[in-house]
Amino acid sequence: MTTAVPVPTVDLLLSLSSDHWATLQRHVRAVMHELEPPELTPRLVQLRALPAGRLVGGRARRDLSEALAQGGALWTAAVGALRHDPAAGELVEVLRGSEQPEPAPAPPPQGDVAPDAASDALRRRVREVLEERDDARRRFEGAEARARAAGERVAAGTAELDAANARIAELEDELRSADERHRQAVDRERRRAQSEIDALTDELRRHRRLAEERRARSRRRAEQDAAEPTSPPPTPPRRTPPRTPPDPATLRAGTTEHAQAHLRRDRRVIVDGYNVTRQHRGDVPLADQRAWLVKLLEQAVSRYGIRATVVFDAEEALPPGSTAPSRIVTVVFASRTATADDEIVFEVEAAEDVLVITDDRELRERVGAAGGDSVGTLPFLSAVQ
């Protein structure tokens, strides 16, 4: 009759020698893989997955000893496995609580005798320990390599994070600079637009003032004409009445005949003053240039019956209060904020059937766009001299 093996205490299991514990541990690990899942606690599942070297001591050995000390299916299966192991006889006796028996004397050698069971078990244990050591070394080296790789990844991630933070700071600086540039550009554009508005407002006031001055001059001339005695004008010398000028469109531009065809009676003729005098009387002072041109236009008025206006730039304008240089030719000086060209174009836009005398190509294009006609200075002078 086989004596039952009682459930051991935790202290007894912890006090087993390394050889006895190695034998017990080997059988317990084997039976843990044979038990059904309901018979295993979560901790036993964890212990089953551990290598043998982790169960030699420490917390893992205590947890396994506590599980065995609770009895149950694990202990029953382990005892059954021990009973079938001839090399576990001493361990079974220790677990039963009896003293460890004295080792039996070795039988005398009889020829080639096979090693005894204890030697075989010892060699197996040594091989297992070496295997466990090598396995533990491989795991340690693998863990060390993984730790190094993780450290390198952490370092690389830290470097990337630092670079990303630096890039974010750089982009924030660029965004602030862009916002500042945009604000400055908006301010500049606002100031420029306001300056243009102010300039246009001043220009409008100037044109209104010029228009008012022209109306005032017209009123003064009318008053002067009304105040003069009504003596009959001197009888002009008898001359052959001019023939009706032909249509300018039928004549070649740039000829005297073409210019004469444009000089119709009562037609408004505006002369670009300095453009004429500087080409044909540029060797004399400006005042003499103006006097020459005004006298020439008076002759043209008497000859063709035109309404002549000459426009000069603001250079050497007549001082305030001075008399007009002619009663039958209107002399206009452009303001210092505009040019004679601008004044001429304004006059063309404000009237109909206007003829402009100039060689300025740009001015002629502007006059044509405003609906006026233009004739060069040389054909005009040939027609009126």
Summarised one tens digit per residue, pLDDT across range 214-235 is 777 777 777 776 775 555 555 5
- Beta bridge partner(s), residue 375: 357
Taking the complete model, does pTM exceed 0.85, yes or no? no
Quote the percentage of the chain above a pLDDT of 90. 34
Choose the weakest-confidence range: 41-45, 184-188, 245-249, 360-364. Answer: 245-249
Q: What is the three-class DSSP state of 373?
A: strand
Per-residue pLDDT at 306 exceeds 90? yes
Nearest to 364 by CA among 355, 354, 374: 374
Q: What's the 3-state SS for 104-126?
A: CCCCCCCCCCCCCHHHHHHHHHH
CA distance 72 to 66: 12
Task: Tell me the mean pLDDT in the region 305-328.
Answer: 73
pLDDT of residue 231: 53
Gap between the terminal Cα atoms of the chain: 163
Cα–Cα distance between 78 and 56 in angstroms, integer? 17
pLDDT at 57: 85
Q: What confidence category does residue 141 fall into, taking pLDDT thresholds of 50, 70 and 90?
A: confident
Find out whether 367 and 348 touch, Cβ atoms under 8 Å.
yes
pLDDT of residue 101: 43
At 167 the pLDDT is: 93
Instruction: Report d(CA 237, CA 50) in Å as an integer.
Output: 141
The answer to whether residue 311 scores a pLDDT higher than 90 is yes
Q: Give the full edge-to-edge strand order of the sheet including 373-375.
A: 330-333, 307-312, 268-272, 354-357, 373-375
CB distance 83 to 92 below 8 Å? yes
What's the mean pLDDT in 260-273? 94
Place of tokens 């002078």: 381
Torsions phi, psi for 138 (to 5 deg): -65, -45
Residues 6+ away with beta carbon under 8 Å from 24: 13, 16, 78, 82, 88, 91
Structural Rg of the chain based on CA atoms: 63
Cα separation of 286 and 274, whole Å? 8
- Within a 13 Å sphere around the CA of 294, how many CA atoms are in the beta-carbon half? 17
Q: What is the pLDDT of residue 213?
A: 76
What confidence score (pLDDT) does residue 238 get? 54
Residues 18 and 5: their CA atoms lie apart, in Å, by 20
Residue 228, pLDDT score: 59
Q: Cα separation of 67 and 44, whole Å? A: 8
**156, exposed or middle or buried, with CB in 10 Å at 0-12, 13-18, 19+?**
exposed
Compare 258 and 192 and report the one with higher pLDDT: 258
**Phi, psi (degrees; rounded to nearest 5) at 188:** -60, -45
**Least-confidence region, from 106-110, 140-144, 174-178:** 106-110
How far apart CA 349 and CA 136 sit, in angstroms, is 105
Tens-digit pLDDT profile for residues 172-191: 999 999 999 998 889 888 88
Q: How confident is the model at residue 262 (pLDDT cuts 50, 70, 90)?
A: very high
